[in-house]
Homo-oligomer: A and B are copies of this chain.
Amino acid sequence: MTKTTEHLGKGSDTPVGVAILGQGTVGREVLRILLANKDSLEHRVGGKLEVKGVAVGDISKPRPGVDPDLLTDDAMELIKRDDVDIVVEVIGGVDYAREVVLAALRAGKSVVTANKALVAAHSAELAEAADEAGVDLYFEAAVAAAIPVVGPLRRSLAGDQIVSVAGIVNGTTNFILDAMDTSGASYEDMVQQAIELGYAEADPSADVDGHDAASKAAILASLAFHTRVTKDDVYCEGISKITSEDIKTAREAGYAIKLLAICERFTDANGQEVIAARVHPTLIPKDHPLASVNKSFNAIFVEAEAAGRLMFYGNGAGGAPTTSAVLGDLVGAARNKVHGGRAPGESTYANLPIASFGDVLTRYHVDMRVEDRIGVLAEVSALFAKNQISLRTVRQEDKGDTARLVVVTHAAREADLAHTVSQLKELAAVKEITSVIRLEGE
A: which residues have CB within 8 A of B? 2, 4, 7-9, 11-12, 29, 33, 37, 40-41, 43-44, 46-47, 140, 145-148, 151-152, 155-161, 226, 289, 292, 304-315, 318, 320-321, 323-332, 335-336, 338-342, 344, 347, 349-350
Whether the pair A310, B33 counts as a contact (CB closer than 8 A) is: no
CB-CB under 8 A from A339, the residues of chain B are: 2, 4, 7, 341-342
Tell me which of B12, B43, B156, B308 contacts A315 (CB under 8 A). B308
Which residue in B4, B152, B158, B350 is a CB contact (below 8 Å) of A331?
A: B158
Closest to A342 in B: B339
| Contact, CB under 8 Å: B340 / A321 | no
**Which B residues lie within 8 Å of A146 (CB)?**
160, 304, 306-308, 310
B-side contacts of A155, CB under 8 Å: 148, 151, 155, 328, 331-332
Smallest distance from the beta carbon of A140 to chain B beta carbons, Å?
A: 6
| B-side contacts of A43, CB under 8 Å | 226, 347, 349-350
Known: A4-B8, A8-B8, A146-B304. A161 touches B40 (CB 8 A): yes
Cα of A186 to Cα of B151 in the assembled complex, Å:
42
Per a CB cutoff under 8 Å, which of B151, B158, B315, B338 touches A44?
B158
A305 vs B326: C-alpha distance when bound (angstroms): 14
Chain B residue nearest to A331 in the complex (CB): B158
Chain B residues with Cβ under 8 A from A327's Cβ? 158-160, 306
- Taking the full assembly, how many copies of this chain does it contain? 2
Supposing A4-B9, A146-B304, A339-B342 touch, asked if A151 and B161 sit within 8 A by C-beta, the answer is: no
**Closest Cβ–Cβ distance, residue A86 to chain B (whole Å):** 12
- Beyond A8-B8, A148-B157, list 17 extra A-B contacts (CB 8 Å): A2-B11, A2-B46, A7-B9, A43-B349, A44-B159, A146-B160, A146-B304, A147-B310, A148-B148, A155-B155, A155-B332, A158-B327, A158-B332, A307-B321, A310-B314, A311-B312, A312-B312
Within the assembled complex, what's the spacing in Å between the Cα atoms of A336 and B335?
13
- 10 A-B contacts (beta carbon < 8 Å): A4-B9, A4-B340, A7-B339, A148-B157, A159-B328, A292-B292, A306-B323, A307-B321, A308-B318, A336-B341
Q: Which residue of B lies closest to A348 (CB)?
A: B43
Q: Decide if B304 touches A309 in the complex (CB within 8 Å).
A: no
Does B335 contact A308, Cβ atoms closer than 8 Å? no
Q: How far apart sit A12 and B1, CA to CA, in the bound complex (Å)?
A: 9
A43–B159 Cα distance when bound, in Å, is 11
